[in-house]
C-alpha cells in the first residue's frame, strides 16, 4: 500500500492520423510518500503509470471524457523501443482471450490452459495477470515448477547454483568465447485456444565477483499471484480492450503501428559489462512475425554480442 498526494495535471497527446492533432486532457496522478506491505518486501517503484481499470486511471479518464474508445495497447519491441496507444482496439488477425474479472478488484486477469517448453506440452489451467508494470514474470506452483524444471532438463549449459544475489533460480554459465547458445522455446496457450509464443523468456546477466556471464530463465517464483511481466510481452502489440473485456496480441516490431510517428531511436552503442540485471537488447534468431506455432520447435538460437547492451524503453504516446 502507498499513501501520499493525489494531484491533477494536463496530459498532452497527439492523434494517430496523417494530419496529427493535439489533444489535451486533465488526468490525476499520485506521489507516494509512505510505503507499506509488498512495497517494502521487494524493490520500491520509482513511478508507475496508472493503466488499470479503476476510474482514476489514465485510460478510464480519457474514455470517460469521450476522447477514446475504452481500450489501449502497449507494444514492446525486441530492440528496446516501445509505444502506448490510447483508444487502440487492435487489428484483424490478432490473438484474443477473455479477461477473468473479479468484482472487488478487477485486473487484467486471463486464463492459460497449456504450457509448452522445448516442445513438451502439458495441459493444466491457471490464471495470471498481464502487468506491464512488472519487469519479469512471476509464477507460483504448479506453473513455476512445470516450466522451470522442464527448461532446466533441456538446457545445454552448466547450471550456476550460487545465484543468491539474483531473483532467478535457473541460470546457466556461458563460456568466455561463446558467441551463441540455444535455449528451450517457451509457449503458452490461452483460454480460447490462442497460442502465445514467448519470444525472449531469458535474461542475460553478469555475475560478480566471479566475472561470469549467465543466461537465466526470466521467471521468478511467487508465493501467491501469477504475473505475466513485460519480458514475456516482448515482440507483441498487447491490446487491453476494456469494452469487449479481452486481451489481444499480435506480433509487431513496434515501428509500423498505423504509420504513426515514433520517437527517433538513438544509435546502439556498447557499454561495459553490466553488474545489474540488464536484458540483452540484441534480437534473437527467430523474428516475432515468424514465431513458430506451439510444439513445432524445441530450441531457439540466441546470438551474443561482445558486451551487454542496456535496454532503453523509448515510449511514444499516441491517441486513436
CA distances (Å), 191 to each of 164, 259, 269, in order?
35, 31, 41
Q: Taking residues 188-193, report their average pLDDT.
A: 94
Q: What is the DSSP string of 236-287?
A: EEEEEETTTTEEEEEE--SS-STTPPPPPPPPP---SPPSS-----S--SS-
**pTM for the full model?**
0.77
Going by C-alpha positions, the residue among 194, 184, 197 that lies closest to residue 292 is 197
Task: Provide the CATH topology of domain 2-258+273-319.
Answer: Cathepsin D, subunit A; domain 1 (2.40.70)
Cell of 112: 492459460
φ, ψ dihedrals at 148, nearest 5° = -70, -40
**Residue 198 in this model has a pLDDT that exceeds 60:** yes
Look-up of cell digits 519487469: 135
State residue 211's pLDDT score: 74
Cell of 237: 502489440
State residue 285's pLDDT score: 30
Beta-ladder partners of 173: 214
Contact 280, 270 (CB under 8 A): no
Spatial distance between the Cα atoms of 177 and 46, rounded to a whole number of angstroms: 37
Strands 159-160 and 171-174: antiparallel
Q: pLDDT-based confidence at 141, cuts 50/70/90?
A: very high
Percent of residues, the chain, with pLDDT higher than 90: 43
Strands 219-221 and 137-139: parallel
More confident residue, 266 or 95: 95
Contact 73, 222 (CB under 8 A): no
Q: What is the pLDDT of residues 231-281, one digit of tens each?
A: 999 999 999 999 999 999 999 988 865 433 333 333 333 322 322 233 332
Amino acid at each position: 500500500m502507498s499513501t501520499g498526494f493525489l494531484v491533477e495535471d494536463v496530459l498532452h497527446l497527439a492523434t494517430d492520423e496523417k494530419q496529427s492533432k493535439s489533444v489535451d486532457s486533465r488526468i490525476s496522478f499520485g506521489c507516494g510518500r509512505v510505503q507499506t506491505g509488498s512495497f517494502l518486501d521487494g524493490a520500491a517503484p520509482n513511478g508507475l503509470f496508472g493503466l488499470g481499470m479503476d476510474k482514476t486511471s489514465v485510460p478510464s479518464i480519457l474514455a470517460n471524457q469521450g476522447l477514446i474508445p475504452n481500450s489501449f495497447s502497449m507494444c514492446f519491441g525486441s530492440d528496446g523501443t516501445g509505444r502506448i496507444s490510447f483508444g487502440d482496439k487492435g487489428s484483424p488477425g490478432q490473438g484474443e482471450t477473455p479477461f477473468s474479472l473479479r468484482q472487488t478488484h478487477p485486473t487484467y486477469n486471463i486464463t492459460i490452459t497449456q504450457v509448452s517448453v522445448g516442445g513438451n506440452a502439458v495441459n493444466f489451467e491457471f490464471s495470471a495477470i498481464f502487468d506491464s508494470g512488472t519487469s519479469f514474470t512471476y509464477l507460483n506452483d504448479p506453473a513455476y515448477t512445470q516450466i522451470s524444471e522442464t527448461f532446466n532438463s533441456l538446457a545445454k549449459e552448466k547450471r550456476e547454483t550460487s545465484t543468491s544475489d539474483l531473483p532467478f533460480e535457473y541460470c546457466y554459465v556461458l563460456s568466455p568465447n561463446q558467441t551463441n547458445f540455444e535455449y528451450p522455446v517457451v509457449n503458452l496457450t490461452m483460454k480460447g485456444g490462442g497460442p502465445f509464443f514467448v519470444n525472449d523468456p531469458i535474461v542475460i546477466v553478469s555475475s560478480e565477483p566471479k566475472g561470469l556471464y549467465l543466461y537465466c530463465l526470466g521467471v521468478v517464483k511467487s508465493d501467491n499471484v501469477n504475473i505475466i511481466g513485460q519480458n514475456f510481452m516482448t515482440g507483441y502489440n498487447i491490446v487491453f480492450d476494456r469494452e469487449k473485456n479481452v486481451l489481444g496480441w499480435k506480433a509487431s516490431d513496434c515501428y509500423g503501428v498505423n504509420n504513426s510517428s515514433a520517437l527517433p531511436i538513438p544509435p546502439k552503442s556498447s557499454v561495459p559489462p553490466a553488474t545489474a540485471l540488464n536484458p540483452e537488447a540484441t534480437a534473437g534468431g527467430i523474428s516475432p512475425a515468424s514465431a513458430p506455432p506451439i510444439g513445432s520447435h524445441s530450441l531457439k538460437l540466441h546470438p551474443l554480442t561482445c558486451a551487454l547492451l542496456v535496454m532503453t524503453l523509448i515510449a511514444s504516446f499516441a491517441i486513436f
